[in-house]
Each structure stands twice: as structure tokens, then as C-alpha cells.
Amino acid sequence: MAGLAKFFIAAGEIESAKKVLASVAAGSERDTAIIAAKAALDLAEQAAAVGDSSELEQRIAANPEDHQARFDFAILLNAQNRREEAAAELLTIIKRDRAWNDDGARKQLLQFFDAWGPMDPATVSARKKLSTLLFS
């Protein structure tokens, strides 16, 4: 079911993915594949609501401290499967202002990790960088 939901998400069929995930049996929601599919669905919905990447890039270039633009840009990068770049944008926010948006950049990065899976190279790399930022 998780694989089918991810297929629909990749194809841009968000409503179909929602239906598949809604049909998941009780108790299955703890399955890591289901967690990843649900996170991917949420991220796809976020990306659809963000807007234009060129506008966000211009806002960041004009004001590197525009954390909302950087946050939204990270969501778009993730939707384009540019995982390392998406993580880097969120890590930049964490480095500059960890408390921004109630620790929103860290929370978003953790959602990326859920969607990507624990063994994904982007997850492994970004987790190391996040640990370095938080514990050094």
C-alpha cells in the first residue's frame, strides 16, 4: 500500500495517494513504509502550496535571513528530489536561528528524514550535520 501511495505521489495523483493511505488497516500506521508514504504525501501537499522557486531564490538572494523563503525553497527542492540541497537550506536556518518558527526548520528536516527513510544517503548525511549543529 505504501509503494502504491508513493507511486501516486510521484505521478502527481495526490487524491489517489490519500485514498490509498486512508484504506490502510488499523495498526499498520506504525509501519515505516506507511510513515514514509504519509510524510511524502504531506510534503507533496506542502510543495504544491509554496509557489515559484525563482521568486524564492530572489528573496533569499536579496535577504539571506529570510528564513521563510529559505524554508519554502527547501520544500520545493525536496519535491524536485534535490534532497541534499533541501537539507542544506534547512540546516542553514538551524545554524542561523534555531528557534525560528518554533524550531520549524529542525521539525521539517525530521519530516524529510521520515519521507526519505533512515538509510537514504541524504538522511544519513543530514543527520550527521544536524547532530554537529545541535551538540557542538
Give tens-digit pLDDT for 40-76. Answer: 899 889 888 887 899 999 999 999 999 999 999 999 9
pLDDT at res. 125: 97
User: Which residues fall within 8 angstroms of residue 79, CB to CB, at 6 or more apart?
Assistant: 43, 44, 47
| 71 touches 105 (CB < 8 A) | yes
Architecture in CATH of 51-136:
Alpha Horseshoe (1.25)
pLDDT tens-digit profile of 87-100? Answer: 999 999 999 999 99
| 111 touches 86 (CB < 8 A) | no
Size of the chain, expressed as the number of residues it contains: 136
| 67 touches 93 (CB < 8 A) | yes
* Three-state secondary structure readout of 111-133: HHHHHHCCCCHHHHHHHHHHHHH
